[in-house]
A and B are shown apart, each in its own frame.
Chain A
Amino acid sequence: MASSSSGYAMFLGCVIPNLLPHLEISIRKVFGRLDVEVKDIAGFSCCPEPIGTPGLDITTWVTLAARNLCVAEEAGLDIAAFCNGCFETLKEAKVLLEHDAKLRSKVAEALSKIGREYKGRVEVKHFAQVLYEDIGPAKLRGYVERPLEGVRVAAHYGCHILRPSHLLQVDDPFNPVLLDALVEATGAESVDYFRKFLCCGCGVSNLDEAANIKMVMEKLHYMTQAKADCMTVLCPVCFRQYDVRQMIINKTYGKDYNIPVLYYTQLLGLAMGMTPDELDLKSNRTKVDPLLAKLAGGK
C-alpha cells in the first residue's frame, strides 16, 4: 500500500530490542541518515518466531502474524523487518493468506474476536530489501564516506530471508546477490567461502547443542580459511550464534577463531563514517579491533 516515500513501520522483533539493543543503535543511526524513513509504531507483538510457534500450531502462528500486519495496516505503513525470523513469519503469513482460503477464513474469524480485520494491503520487506530495492547499491555508495577498501567480508544471509523462496520471493535461495551487493556498496569485498548458506543452527540449539556447535564451527572454519576479516549478518539470531557462540567455542574447545561479527547496519555505519563508539561496537562479543586496525592502516 504505502509507497516507500511515506516510510515503513519498523519491526524490530523480540531479539534486537531486548537482547541486542546495541544493534538497534546502529539501525537507528544508519536509517536516520538515509532517504527512507523507518518509524516506531505501537502495538506489535512477537512476530511470532518461525521455528517453534508454527511447530506447535500453524494457524496460531499465522493469526498472530496477521494481527501484526493489521497493526501496520491501521497505521498506513508497510513493514520493514530487522530480523530474518520476523521477516519470514510476516511475509509468509501475508502470502499464505493470499493463497489459502481455508486458512484465511480461520484467521479472519479469530481476528474478529479481538475486533480486528486484515485487509491484505500491507507489504512486508526485510530491511536489506529496503536498502537494495528502494535505495539500491549505487545510491547507497553515495552515503559512504569511508569506503571499507581492502576489507574482506564473509556475507551470511541466514535462512529466513531466502527460504522458502516460493513464499518469500526475495532472491535465489542458494545463489542470491542481495547481501553481496550491499557489502560491496560499502567498498569492501564480499568473499566467497564454502558453506556460505549453512544455517546458523539456532533452531536445534536447545535440543542438540553439540550439533549446533559443530554447525557454527564449520562456518567459522571456512570463513577463516577464506581469510575473511569479518562476517556480516542480516539477522540478530544469526548474530548471536556467531558472535556469542564464537567466544564460547574458543573457550570451551580451545579454538582461536577470530571473526568479528557485524550486523549489516554496523558495517554500513562504519562505511558511512560513524565511529565504533557511535555504533556501540564494544558491545559486540567478538572483538572488532583487528578490523578497525586494518581500516585505520589501510587508508
Chain B
Amino acid sequence: MTEAYHEINSKFRKELAELHEEGESLNHCYQCATCSGICPVFRYNSKYNPRRLIEGMLTGKRDELIHDPNIWLCTVCHNCTEVCPQGVRVSELLATLRNLAARAGNIPEHLRAEAKVLIETGLVNAPSKATISRRAKMGLPELKTADPAEIRALLEHLDFIKLAAKEEKAVKEESGGGKQQ
C-alpha cells in the first residue's frame, strides 16, 4: 500500500536492527514480493503476507504489527529468506517481530500451552504413562531427559516464564516507540 511520507516512522526499523544481528538487512527491501510469492501460507491464506509485514516494519507500523494475531501464521519454512533478491533476512526479522509481539502479550493459545509444558517438563511433548508403558512393551530404553528443575531455573533466569504468562492489553500504546513494556 502506498503511504504518505509523513506517516513513515523509522524508529521501528532501528529497533529491529538493534534486536537482530541481521536486522539491518530490512533496509534493503524494495517490495518486490518474491517472499510472498514463495510463501506456502500466503498461497492459502492471504492474511499472512510477508511483503506487507516487511512494509509495515519499514514504515514503522509497530503497534499494528505487534498486535496482529496473523503474524503467527508462519510455518517458519524460511523460503522467504532464501529467495529474497536483496538478501533481507525475512524469516529472522519476522521471528524478531514475533518476539516483540510476545512481549506485548500477543501469544497464540497453542504456544502458551506449549510453553507451559516446556516450563514444567523441559520438553514440548512429555511422555505420558501410556507412552512409557508402550515404549517398555516395544523394548525401547527408558528416556533419560534433562532434569526439569534445571530447565526451569534456566527459563526463570531468561524471564521466559513471565513472558509466557504475559497478557495482551486491550488499549493500544504509543506507536513507533522502543519501549512497549
Contacts and interface: CB of A to CB of B under 8 A. Distances in A.
B165 to A, nearest CB: 11
Pick from B73, B74, B81, B154 the residue with the most CB of A within 10 Å. Answer: B154
B72 A55 contact: yes
Contacts of A17: 127, 131, 135, 140, 143
B158 A63 contact: yes
A293 interface: no
Contact of B75 (A18, A174, A202): A202
Interface string B45-88: 10000000000000000000000000011111111011000000
Contacts of A201: 40-41, 75
B82 A165 contact: yes
Nearest to A17: B143
Given A63-B158, A199-B40, A207-B108, A18 B125 contact: yes
Interface string A14-37: 110111011011001000000000
Contacts of B123: 14, 18, 45-46
Nearest to B47: A208
Interface stretch (A137-145, A210-218, A223-231): A210-218
Interface string B138-180: 1011011111001101110110100110000000000000000
Interface stretch (B1-9, B26-34, B96-104): B96-104
A43 interface: yes
B36 interface: no
Contact of B111 (A55, A63, A110, A210): A55
A45 B145 contact: yes
Contacts of B40: 198-199, 201, 215
A25 B145 contact: no
Contacts of B135: 17, 21
Chain B binding surface, main DSSP class: helix
Given A18-B125, A159-B76, A48 B118 contact: yes
A58 B96 contact: yes
Given A58-B99, A201-B40, A46 B122 contact: yes
Contacts of B41: 201, 204, 208, 211
A204 B131 contact: no
Given A19-B125, A21-B134, A280-B138, A44 B145 contact: yes
Contacts of A206: 108, 110
Given A22-B138, A24-B140, A43-B145, A110 B158 contact: yes
A101 B94 CA distance: 21
B154 A113 contact: yes
A40 B144 CA distance: 9
A212 to B, nearest CB: 8
Nearest to B157: A113
B162 to A, nearest CB: 11
B98 A48 contact: no
A80 to B, nearest CB: 16
A222 B73 CA distance: 24
A159 B99 contact: no
Contact of A40 (B78, B141, B146, B157): B141
Contacts of B124: 14, 46, 48-49
Ranked nearest first, the 8 interchain pairs of A and B with the lowest CB-CB distance are A203-B75, A42-B144, A163-B78, A45-B146, A14-B125, A211-B44, A199-B77, A206-B110
21 contacts: A18-B131, A28-B140, A40-B141, A43-B145, A46-B123, A49-B114, A51-B76, A54-B76, A55-B74, A56-B160, A110-B154, A110-B158, A113-B154, A163-B81, A164-B81, A173-B78, A199-B77, A199-B79, A203-B75, A207-B110, A211-B45
Interface of B: 20-21, 40-41, 44-45, 72-79, 81-82, 89, 91-92, 95-96, 98-99, 102, 107-108, 110-111, 114-115, 118, 122-128, 131, 134-135, 138, 140-141, 143-147, 150-151, 153-155, 157-158, 160, 163-164
